[in-house]
Amino acid sequence: MCNLYNITTTSEAVRQFTNALRDNGGWNQPSLDVYPDYRAPIVRNTEDGRELAMVRWGLPSSEKALFDAAKMRADKLRAKGKEIDEAAFAELLRMEPDGGTTNVRNTTSRHWTRWLGVEHRCVVPVTSFAEPDPASKVEGERTPNAWFARDGTRPLMFFAGIWVPQWKSVRKVREGMTVNDLFGFLTTEPNDVVRPIHEKAMPVILTTVDEVAVWLNAPWEEAKALQWPLPNNRLTIVPPPAKIEQETPAAQGSLL
């Protein structure tokens, strides 16, 4: 499951590739590492055409996931002697933190089908993405990442994504209830390049103007055919992105 990717390109390059009419993102970092819950650029459909915007990474989690998390929290409070009645549990559930679901695999789930229409589709610019590589781990150190790109020059590509407008939820306890535009992207079976590192999944990657057009414009019966592994010859392992001086997450608005 991809939970880190890098964008080393320009907003103008993204706009030209996707024929986005407007840039409402204000994104200008020369190299941006994107982690869950960061704000990152996407190109999305709007009533006035395609636009480049900065949106928070992590779609709403399912009602069941939030219910189960709240129930677990209620059980821990009860174990400490606190009384949790129906009203108290309802408040726990309402305020249950939801850090967001970054990747979507099962597009037949009722939770996701409501957001598969063209009005909720987006593409996410990326030049390389990471997966933890346990085989390279050194004892006592953090698991290093393997990085993947189209080739060594890291040309622009896109994740096939979906976005949700103005979702009200608690993302972080310290923030309380907030309202955010949210996005995530689809995953599929890994190809032979990714599988040795991550055997469960890889992002759905679009590499051509036509693929981007299909994802953003086509009926779901046609667009869903893109949820397929990228051919092996169109992806390779690359070194980590070069460290380019950039603002801290708080300064650049990566976190709300």
Q: What's the rounded Cα separation, in Å, for the pair 255 and 252? A: 8
DSSP single-letter state for residue 143: P
pLDDT digits (tens, 9 = 90+) for 172-217: 888 889 999 999 999 999 999 999 999 999 999 999 999 999 999 9
Q: Which residue would you say has higher pLDDT here, 142 or 92?
A: 142
Q: Which residue would you say has higher pLDDT here, 158 or 69?
A: 158
Tell me the mean pLDDT in the region 97-122. Answer: 94
Q: What's the rounded Cα separation, in Å, for the pair 1 and 30? A: 25
Residue 219's contacts (CB-CB under 8 Å, 6 or more residues apart) are none
Q: What's the rounded Cα separation, in Å, for the pair 147 and 125? A: 16
**Contact (CB, 8 A) for 204 and 188:** yes
- Say what the pLDDT of residue 32 is: 94
Terminal-to-terminal C-alpha distance of the chain: 23
pTM above 0.85, yes or no: yes
Q: What's the rounded Cα separation, in Å, for the pair 152 and 148? A: 9
- Say what the pLDDT of residue 256 is: 38
Give the bridge partners for 130, in sequence order. Answer: 147
Residue with tokens 């080393």: 8
pLDDT digits (tens, 9 = 90+) for 131-164: 999 888 888 888 899 999 999 999 999 999 999 9
Q: Say whether pLDDT at 255 is over 50.
A: no
Q: Which residue would you say has higher pLDDT here, 171 or 205?
A: 205
H helix or E strand, kind and range, residue 68: helix 63-79
Tell me the mean pLDDT in the region 106-118. Answer: 95
**Contact (CB, 8 A) for 37 and 57:** yes
Residue among 103, 98, 250 at smallest CA distance from 172: 98
**Contact (CB, 8 A) for 170 and 98:** yes
Tell me the mean pLDDT in the region 110-138. Answer: 94
> Could you tell me the pLDDT band of residue 220, with boundaries at 50, 70 and 90?
very high
Q: Which residue would you say has higher pLDDT here, 95 or 157?
A: 157
Q: What's the rounded Cα separation, in Å, for the pair 182 and 36? A: 11
- Say what the pLDDT of residue 244 is: 65
> Could you tell me the pLDDT band of residue 99, with boundaries at 50, 70 and 90?
confident
pLDDT digits (tens, 9 = 90+) for 13-58: 999 999 998 998 888 888 999 999 999 999 998 888 899 999 999 9
pLDDT digits (tens, 9 = 90+) for 223-254: 999 999 999 999 999 999 987 654 444 333 43
The count of other CB atoms within 10 Å of the CB of residue 122 is 26
Number of residues in the chain: 256
Q: What percent of the chain has pLDDT over 70?
A: 95
- Say what the pLDDT of residue 189 is: 96
The type of residue at 144 is P
- Say what the pLDDT of residue 81 is: 84
> Could you tell me the pLDDT band of residue 74, with boundaries at 50, 70 and 90?
confident
Compute CA distances 43 → 32, 34, 133, whole Å: 16, 16, 30
Token representation of residue 117: 């229409």
- Say what the pLDDT of residue 89 is: 81
Per-position DSSP letters for 71-123, written without gaps between them: HHHHHHHHHTT----HHHHHHHHHT-----B-EE--TTSHHHHTT-SGGGEEE
